[in-house]
Amino acid sequence: MSKVKQLKITFLGTGTSTGVPMITSTHPVSLSDNPKDKRLRSSIMISWDETTYIIDSGPDFRQQMIRENVQAIEGILFTHEHSDHIAGFDDIRPFSFRMGEVPIYLTERVLHALEKRYDYIFATENRYPGAAKVKTNIISKHSTLNFKGVKVVPVEVMHGNLPVLGFRFNNFAYLTDIKTISLEEKTKLSNLDTIVVTGLRKEEHSTHFNIEEALEFIKELNPKKAYLTHISELLGFHDEVEKELPENVHLAYDGLSIISE
Ligand SMILES: [Zn+2]
Ligand SMILES: [Zn+2]
């Protein structure tokens, strides 16, 4: 049997759309001095051998790439078009200067949203010479990708009424901005080593898992371990919430790196 590759997952950001601290907030978590309570917008980096993929390029992308000293990437996969997941797209330029076209993987709908907001990047005539260059790869929930020996399967989840892609890389899965999932898509999540899933806050939310829904979902899928992300200040202090979680479930925090199969 061939050995399953070890994937290194780095949490670039673990905050909800506003980030934590939130502008104007006087909530105690937003005022916390604990670095684990400071959360940039949600994104992860998945690396193995000399290969690195990023999921989403939110508004904190530049800061995240500099903090993690990322020198090269093989591509960016997009979950959906909300600003907290794409608003740093223009900051892929330095990668484009070094490597030319940056491969992006996204659904047709998310591509149209990017084309609207970043028309100059997708322009074919009179292009501004400094604009980023991308190589577009349209994917859907029916795609199966192979990234240098790692099988990548998009998993569609529902973010209220909006379909969003999560991604399974071998036995690791990342599902952000999830409220519900169909039975069919759930079958793609069997035998996971590690899952990362949204655990927004304690109270219910119309388009995101709260912590109770996240824990129920994790229990049902029964991965070896799980991490919660896309976290609001309303969830509470990192160190306190962490103590209340089941043994194999943790709160992610910015800069955390884990190994998964
Ligand atoms: Zn989001
Ligand atoms: Zn969203």
CA distance 194 to 171: 7
- Asked whether residue 200 is assigned to any structural domain, the reply reads yes
Composition of the chain by helix, strand, coil, percent to 5? 25, 30, 45
Asked if the model's pLDDT at residue 91 lies above 90, the reply is yes
- Asked whether residue 199 is assigned to any structural domain, the reply reads yes
Placement of tokens 């990192």 in the chain: 238
CA distance 38 to 56: 19
Could you tell me which residues come within 8 angstroms of residue 131 by beta carbon, excluding any fewer than 6 positions away? Answer: 93, 120, 121, 123
- Asked whether residue 236 is assigned to any structural domain, the reply reads yes
From the list 225, 221, 232, the residue with the least C-alpha distance to 249 is 225
Asked if the model's pLDDT at residue 98 lies above 80, the reply is yes
User: How far does the centroid of ligand 2 lie from the alpha carbon of residue 80, in Å?
Assistant: 7
Ligand nearest 176 Cα, by number?
A: 1
In the predicted model, what is the mean pLDDT of residues 150-173?
98
What is the percent of the chain where pLDDT is above 70?
99
In the predicted model, what is the mean pLDDT of residues 42-57?
97
- Asked whether residue 2 is assigned to any structural domain, the reply reads no
Ligand nearest 14 Cα, by number?
A: 1
In the predicted model, what is the mean pLDDT of residues 56-71?
98
User: How far does the centroid of ligand 2 lie from the alpha carbon of residue 5, in Å?
Assistant: 30
- Asked whether residue 257 is assigned to any structural domain, the reply reads no
- Asked whether residue 24 is assigned to any structural domain, the reply reads yes
The domain tally of the chain equals: 1
| Amino acid identity, position 243 | K
Tell me the residue length of the chain. 261
**Per-residue pLDDT tens over the stretch 193-219:** 999 999 999 999 999 999 999 999 999
pLDDT band at 234 (very low <50, low <70, confident <90, very high): very high
Asked if the model's pLDDT at residue 4 lies above 80, the reply is no
| pTM for the whole structure | 0.97
The CATH number assigned to the domain holding 179 equals 3.60.15.10
DSSP SS3 for 13: strand
User: How far does the centroid of ligand 2 lie from the alpha carbon of residue 95, in Å?
Assistant: 25
User: How far does the centroid of ligand 1 lie from the alpha carbon of residue 91, in Å?
Assistant: 19
In the predicted model, what is the mean pLDDT of residues 121-135?
95
pLDDT at 2 (0 to 100): 56
pLDDT at 5 (0 to 100): 83
Decide: residue 126, CB within 10 A, 0-12 exposed, 13-18 middle, 19+ buried.
exposed
Rounded (5°) CA angle 53-157-204: 115
Question: Mean pLDDT in the chain?
Answer: 97
User: How far does the centroid of ligand 1 lie from the alpha carbon of residue 64, in Å?
Assistant: 16
- Asked whether residue 179 is assigned to any structural domain, the reply reads yes
DSSP-derived letter for residue 21 is S
User: How far does the centroid of ligand 2 lie from the alpha carbon of residue 86, in Å?
Assistant: 10
User: How far does the centroid of ligand 2 lie from the alpha carbon of residue 82, in Å?
Assistant: 5
User: How far does the centroid of ligand 2 lie from the alpha carbon of residue 98, in Å?
Assistant: 30
| Token duo for residue 87 | 């608003």
Task: Tell me the residue range of the domain where 196 lies.
Answer: 7-252
pLDDT at 184 (0 to 100): 98
- Asked whether residue 186 is assigned to any structural domain, the reply reads yes
CA distance 243 to 189: 26
Asked if the model's pLDDT at residue 1 lies above 60, the reply is no
